[in-house]
Amino acid sequence: MITIVDYGLGNIGAFLNMYKRMNVPAKAARSADELTGAERIILPGVGAFDHAMELLDASGMRPLLEEMVVDRGVPVIGICVGMQILADASEEGKAQGLGWIPGIVRHFRSRTALGSLPLPHMGWNDVEPLDTADRLFSGLERDARFYFLHSYYYDCADPADRAAIATYGAPFACAVRKGNVRGVQFHPEKSHHFGAALLKNFAEL
Amino acid sequence: MLRPRIIPCLLIHEGGLVKTVGFKDPKYVGDPVNAVKIFNEKESDELAVFDIDATANGVEPDYAVIAHLAAECRMPLCYGGGVSSAAQAKRIIGLGVEKVAISAAAVERPQLIAEIAAEVGRQSVAVVLDVRKKMLGGYELRTRNATRAHRQDPFVFAHEAVVLGAGEIVVNSIDLDGAMRGYDLKLARRMREAIDVPVTFLGGAGSLADIEALVREVGVVGAAAGSLFVFKGAYRAVLINYPAPETKEQMIRAALAA
C-alpha cells in the first residue's frame, strides 16, 4: 500500500488517480493513525518551505513519520517542496527542514549560471539519472522528461546524494537519494507517462 | 533542455466548452471534461481553463467543476475566472490545480497579486493581461471580456505584477482571438523583454507554424491556443486535436536552433 501524506499541501488527488489507473493500492493519510502501517510513503508539497514545515508539524504526523523513515527505513519520496523539506534548511525561509539528506535549498538567482533566464523554472525539462542501476528510473534512462515548477533547488552537501540532474542555466540536482529517502523536484503526478512510470517504479522498489 | 509549453486554452461558458472570436460570439464546441480526457491522451504540455462567465456575472468560481476537471487532468492545469481573493485562490489550489489565473481583479487592485502569492506561492500565480492594439500605435489593457479599458500601460503593469508576485504573465491578444493568422510577434518580443518570469501568449495561433514562429521570435515561452486545438479545416469543424510528440519535438528543436 502506498500512503500519501496529506498535511494540507500538494495534489493528493492526482497521485491517487495515477495509482488507481495502474491498479496499485494507494491511500491518503491525514493523521498518525492513518499513517501507521504504510509500506511506501509519498510526501507531496507545493508553495513555501516554512509553510510546508508548519503544516507538517501541525498535522501531528511528523513524529511517526520520522520514526518510520529514520528508524525503520520505510521508503519515502518527497515531491517538489516535499523534496525540499528533506534538506536542513532553505534560503526561502527560517524553518529547519527534516534534515534527512544533508543540504541547503537555494534560490536559482544565487547562481551566476542562471543569467537572464526567467524564474520560476516552469515547464518540461530532461531528467538525467546519475546511476543507471537506480530502479526509480527504470525504463526512463533515455528521453525522460518531467514537469517542473520551482525557483529553488536542492544543493546537496554530498554530491553522492544526487540521484538525477536537470539543466537550467547549469546542471542542478532534480532528484536526491540517501538510503530509503528520496526526493524529486519535478511533478511525476503531472508528467504523463513519464511520471506514471516513475510512480510505478517507486511502488515496486 | 527546457521546452516551450504548448497549451490548449479552453473557455467555459454556461457549463459548456466554447470558442470566441474577438472575445465575442461564443460557439459551443463540446464538453470540458471530455476535452480534458482527450488532451490527457494526447499528452499536452499544460492545460488552461478559463470560465468567461464568472467575473462577468459577479459569481464565485464553480468549485465543483474545477475539482472535477483537476481530478481528470493528468497534466498541469491553470484555472482562471472569477478569482478575486486569496482565500478563493487557496481553495482552488487545494482542489489540485497548479496555477490560478487572475485578471480583472488584479488590474483593479494589484495588491491582490501579493496576497495570493503569499498564500499559494508565486509559482502558482498567473496574471492574465487582455491587450488590444490602439489605433495610434501601442497597446491598451482591457478587462471583463474586453468591455472595460484601463489607463495602465500593459508592459509597465506586467512588470509591476511580477514585482508584486506573479509567477507567470499570460498575454491575451483581443484583436487576434479566434483569428488564426499568427501571434502578434511584436507584442511578444516587447513583453518578453519587459519581464523576467515565464510568459505565455494567447491569441492568433492558426497552425503549428505560427507556434514555431513565436518560439523563433522569443525562445522558450508558453504558446497557448484555443481555435487551433478545437477546430479543424477552413470550415472550423469541431475536432479536439494536439500535435503528436515527435512533430512537436521536431518543431521545437528547429525553432530553438534558429
Per-domain boundaries in chain B = 5-257
CATH number of domain containing A68: 3.40.50.880
The pLDDT score that the predictor gives to residue A95 is 96
CB B22: neighbour CB atoms within 10 A?
15
3-state secondary structure of B141: strand
Which of A85, A93, A100 has its CA nearest to residue A154? Answer: A85
d(CA A10, CA A14): 9
Residue B165 pLDDT more than 80? yes
Given a cut of 80, is residue B140 above it in pLDDT?
yes
> Looking at the predicted structure, is the pLDDT value of residue A141 above 80?
no
Asked if the model's pLDDT at residue B38 lies above 80, the reply is yes
| Cis bond upstream, residue A188 (ω within 30) | no
B90 to chain A, any CB pair closer than 8 A? The answer is no
Q: Write down the pLDDT at residue B96.
A: 85
Provide the pLDDT for residue A85: 98
Asked if the Cβ–Cβ distance from A123 to B70 is below 8 Å, we say no
Q: Are residues B5 and A47, on separate chains, in Cβ contact within 8 Å?
A: no
H-assigned helices in chain A: 12-21, 32-35, 49-58, 62-66, 81-84, 192-204
CATH architecture of B5-257: Alpha-Beta Barrel (3.20)
Tens digit of each residue's pLDDT (9 = 90 or more) over A16-63? 988 999 999 999 999 999 999 999 999 998 888 999 999 999 999 999
Domain count for chain A, please give it: 1
Rounded to whole angstroms, the Cα distance separating B202 from B223 reads 7
Neighbours of B141 (CB within 10 A): 21
Mean pLDDT of B18-33: 94
- Are the Cβ atoms of A147 and B168 closer than 8 angstroms? no
Predicted pLDDT at A14? 87
Whether B197 sits inside 8 A of A168 (CB atoms) is: no
Distant-in-sequence, close-in-space partners of B254: CB < 8 Å, separation ≥ 6: B212
CB-CB contact of A36 with A64 (8 Å): yes
Do residues B170 and B128 lie in contact, with contact meaning Cβ atoms separated by under 8 Å? yes
Q: What is the pLDDT of residue A142?
A: 79
CA distance A12 to A187: 12
What residue numbers bound the domain in which A70 lies?
Answer: 2-204
Under 8 Å between Cβ of A147 and B75: yes
Q: Rounded distance, CA B145 to CA B255, Å?
A: 32
Q: Which of A192, A193, A198, A200 to mutate to test the interface with B (most CBs of B within 10 A)?
A: A192
pLDDT surpasses 80 at B2 = yes
Cβ neighbours of A55 in B, within 8 Å? none
Flag whether pLDDT at B258 surpasses 80. no
**Å from B142 to nearest chain A CA?**
26
Give me chain B's average pLDDT, please: 95
Specify the pLDDT at position A122: 98
Report the mean per-residue pLDDT for chain A: 95
B209: three-class secondary structure by DSSP: helix
Q: Which residues pair with A109 in a beta bridge?
A: none
Is residue B100 within 8 Å of residue B120, measured between CB atoms? yes
Here the cell at position A73 is: 527505513
Residue range A157-178, pLDDT digits in tens: 999 999 999 999 999 999 999 9
Residue of A nearest to B7 (CA): A123
Confidence of residue A112 (pLDDT cuts 50, 70, 90): confident
pLDDT above 90 covers what percent of chain B?
91
Q: Are strands B47-51 and B77-80 parallel, antiparallel or unpaired?
A: parallel
Low-confidence winner among A101-105, A142-146, B228-232 (lowest mean pLDDT): A142-146
